[in-house]
Amino acid sequence: MKFIKPVPASWINEKIEGEIIGLQNAEATGINEIHKVENGDITFVDHPKYYDKVLNSEASFIIINKSVEAPEGKTLFFVENPFEAYCKIVEHFRPFVVQTEMISSDLKKGNNTFIYPNVFIGKNVSIGDNCIIYPNVSIMDHTIIGNNVIIHPGVVIGSNSFYYNTKKDREVWYKKMPDCGRVIIEDNVEIGANCTIDRGVSAETVIGKGTKMDNLIHVGHDTVIGKNCLFAAQTGIAGVVNIGDGVTVWGQCGISKTLSIGNNATLLAMTGVNSDLQGGKIYWGVPAEEASNKKRELVWIKRIPQLWEKIMNK
């Protein structure tokens, strides 16, 4: 999330009741979790495993529970509980606001866009020209929808991310990170019935131009899908996945978190992806492998009884 205007380090430190280490007079331009952090952003770290990664990241402002020397050009905020401090900043700039009307009065709607009855649209939403929003769709706060978009019944856009801070030494192991991200749906996208698209934790979930989605598909937080992709029903995509242009994903595929799929890749039905995949190839199986290799393996597996019989008859 980017701030409307830069925020002084002194204000941040006062807000979270911390101790400043490093640059004292810098100004933050946004706040992000580590997977999406950029220069000028605030982020946090509360586990020794990730100290080096965060201290060497693009983040300019780091909330940390270890008193260390600040890397050059960075500002550290030393606090006892970095996660709670991070949440306090997010909740200040993106507080929960109750909405009682079905469609927010601040909706920006383009020309020739039709919204069916029983659609919920939250605050700070914009919808472009020539769109159709079918019944029982929920479009949550801070969503941006381009032109010529079709959204079928039962779709939820901008639902909360499935993202938790985990500590096994406290009564509640999983504490939800407050969302301050959004969803961006570009031009000429079609989203099938009962799909769910989570908002970014702190950045954007993006559906690229011309992408078409079948029914019952889930897209996790901060996932970026490229242009002209095709997704068949019951596919599940975890958070922080980067999918290139022209990717085809057939039914019931599962794609794990924080990985990339290259341009023009194809995933055959029921493929399970747990690592990066190169573009321009066809994949199948769990874990995903090139489909031609997988098919050859199956041929050899079918021959095992014949081979065993030959061995036993010798």
For the annotated catalytic residues, the residue numbers are 221
What tokens were used for 147? 């032109």
Q: How far is 191 from 143, CA to CA, in rounded Å?
A: 15
Q: How far is 85 from 76, CA to CA, in rounded Å?
A: 13
Long-range Cβ contacts of 58-65 (<8 Å, 24+ apart): 59/32, 59/34, 60/26, 60/28, 61/9, 61/12, 61/26, 61/28, 63/16, 63/18
SS3 assignment for 146-188: CCCCEECCCCEEEECCCCEEECCCCCCCEEECCCCCEEEECCC
Q: Decide: 150 and 190 in contact? Cβ < 8 Å.
A: yes
What tokens were used for 227? 């242009």
Say whether the peptide bond before residue 287 is cis (omega within 30 degrees of 0). Answer: yes
